[in-house]
Structure 1
Amino acid sequence: MKYISILGCGWLGLPLAKSLLTNGFSVKGSTTSEEKLTSLKSLGINPFLVSLDSKSITGAIEEFLDGSETLIINIPPQLRGKNSDITTVNEKIFVEKIKTLIPYIEKSAIENVLFVSSTSVYGEVDGTITEETIPKPDTESGKQLLEVESLLQNNPNFKTTILRFGGLIGKDRNPAKFLAGKTNLENPETPINFIHQEDCIGIIHKIITTNSWNEIYNGVSPFHPTRETYYTQKAIELILPLPQFDHSKPSIGKLILSDKVETVLGYAFIKNNL
């Protein structure tokens, strides 16, 4: 079996790699940390130290892509530098990184690219969102993600599927911890748009095994309680101070649907109750 290359073996990429291995795939995985190479290898992942910047790539990128049919790009925009100064609008660091990567993909045997994006490309709009909704990002990361989506989708040398995940949840990760005890929180009636790590992995598996390329999918659980209901219940479960919401103004926000994942891709969500 040909390799699958995962660019970015972090919070999602590492368990994804382990799951693919369990299901009979061969996996190449990249990291920017030399300390992680040994642990990746011990798991059966063919490890590579690869780092992208806006002008060059450090590491054996050709070997990382060689022999792979599918590339999963799973790296965040990371628009903050070492000094925590956010990039200016004119410094499209993430876009330039992917522009630097694309020629290497073109020269390789990669046929399919899966780009892990975000529902932030839709912006802070009000109403129901589907894959047919025209994205209107209002953050710098959202704008750069959308531009990268376009760069990859419009390249004729490979097929690209875009996977726009909502807020990421896992056993070691829940946003309720950040809102615990806070007051005057806005939009108490706005629905949440989260997805569990297990479903992120499951959807990616389904895309690969069904060869669902040249598509755009929203990756959001069909579980949409209000912000107040969800964060209050989670604070109780985690024994955290309860958040306090402001009801003086109408709630606004988006409801993101993943019906296409269920109807077109045929995926059944595992974690409906987050």
Structure 2
Amino acid sequence: MKQISILGCGWLGLPLAKALIEKGNSVNGSTTSENKLSILKNLGINPFLVLLNEVEGRLESESVSENINTFLAKSEILIIDIPPKLRAANPNSEKKIFVEKIQTLIPFIEKSTIKKVLFVSSTSVYGDDNRFINEETIPNPETESGKQLVLAENLLQENQNFETTILRFGGLIGEDRHPVKFLAGKENLENPDAPINLIHQKDCIRIIEEIIIQSKWNEIFNAVAPFHPTREEYYTNKAIEMNLEKPKFSSEKSNIKKVVSSERIESYLNYKFCLDNY
């Protein structure tokens, strides 16, 4: 049995915590909402209210610091699964909000029992260049969230007090979450010939489990299902399958050809994707 802390029990973190508990592990789970604490507790997760908001470089209160220390206590593995939400009081602010949260967290990790960190990142760090992408590809983010993810990755990997594995997921889908629901009926959509780079929630969870079981640390993995039909083909078929209005694409707006490879996941972890979910 391992003691694991999951920072961010949201869409992925919550079912991940449940899966790890079912495998016999003890899990500390964090949330930023007091209302969610009872939900975590009822699922067998040790619940913690953890906020990483800073005021002039310091946490807002001693109780917040105490919560983080207790949340990390006795755990060897920390999974960081918090999205880079960049909204600030000043919408024109260029402050690295997400990066600052990681900077706030790192000193707590350093003085804790944590020896292994798994950081959930995104293939958005590669931008939308027309190319085949693997783990050797140098990140070239185009979005602010992608830029902050790269900075956060570097902060964690450069720290010698713990070992960090970076897991870059493609577009996330699941039984309750699918982009075709937002695309249905829309017209003049861009990039009909662009290949999809998606990963199902179930694969996300199983890959994280395998990294922990096989102790694959100080690594970088891309995690995208080896299934890359075009956007037009895939979302049209999905709309039909889900009885939704078919989206309409514009061939005049097509320039992305990015294919993200998961060959390293498949070979190094000996992992097989659940393609029936797609």
Q: Are the structure 2 counterparts of residues 249 and 87 from structure 1 closer, same or farther at C-alpha, using a change threshold of 3 Å?
A: closer
Query: 1:64 and 2:71 equivalent?
Result: yes
Q: When the two structures are aligned, how many residues end up with a matched partner?
A: 271
Deviation at 1:203, TM superposition (A): 0.4
CA-CA distance at 1:250 after TM superposition: 4.7
User: Which range is displaced more, 230-239 or 242-251?
Assistant: 242-251
- Of 197, 200, 203 in structure 1, the residue corresponding to residue 201 of structure 2 is 197
**1:74-110 deviation digits (Å, cap 9, x = unpaired):** 00010124x7x6463x310000110010000000010
Q: How does 1:142-157 map to 2 (within 5 A)?
A: 142-157=146-161
Tell which deviates more after alignment, 101-110 or 54-63: 54-63
Distance 1:192 1:87 in 2: 32
Match of 2:35 in 1: 35
Q: What is the CA distance between 1:248 and its match in structure 2? A: 3.1
Correspondence 1:79 to 2:83: no
Structure 1's 205 and 180: CA in aligned 2 closer, same or farther, altered over 3 A?
same
What does residue 134 of structure 1 align with? Answer: 138
- Partner residue, 1:170: 174
CA contact (8 A) 1:8 1:31 kept: yes
Q: Equivalent residues in 2 for 1:1-274 (5 A)?
A: 1-54=1-54, 55=57, 56=59, 58=64, 60-81=67-88, 86=91, 88=93, 90-248=94-252, 250-271=254-275, 273-274=277-278
* Alignment RMSD (CA, Å): 1.4
Distance 2:224 2:193 in 1: 18
Measure how far apart 1:129 and its partner are.
Answer: 0.4
* Amino acid in the other structure paired with 2:9: C
Cα deviation, 1:186-222, whole Å, max 9, x if unaligned, reads 2111100000000000000000000000000001011
TM-score normalised by L of structure 2: 0.94
- CA–CA distance in 2 between the matches of 1:250 and 1:175? 19
TM-score, length-normalised on structure 1? 0.95
Any gaps of 5 or more consecutive residues in structure 2? none
How far apart are residue 43 of structure 1 and its match?
Answer: 1.1
Is the 8 Å Cα contact of residues 9 and 31 (structure 1) preserved in structure 2? yes
Distance across 1 between alignment mates of 2:115 and 2:273:
27
The alpha-carbon distance between structure 1 residues 16 and 273, as it changes in their structure 2 partners (threshold 3 A), is closer
- Residues 263-272 or 13-22, more deviating: 263-272
In the aligned structure 2, how far is the partner of 1:126 from the partner of 1:86?
Answer: 31
Question: Aligned AA for 1:36?
Answer: K
5+ long unaligned stretches in structure 1: none
**If each structure's helix is expressed as a fraction of its own residues, which one has the higher value?**
2
Give the C-alpha shift of residue 265 in structure 1. 1.5
Determine the C-alpha separation between the residues in 2 that align with 1:87 and 1:116: 27
Identity of aligned residues (%): 63
Q: Whole-Å Cα distance in 2 between the matches of residues 9 and 143 of structure 1?
A: 23
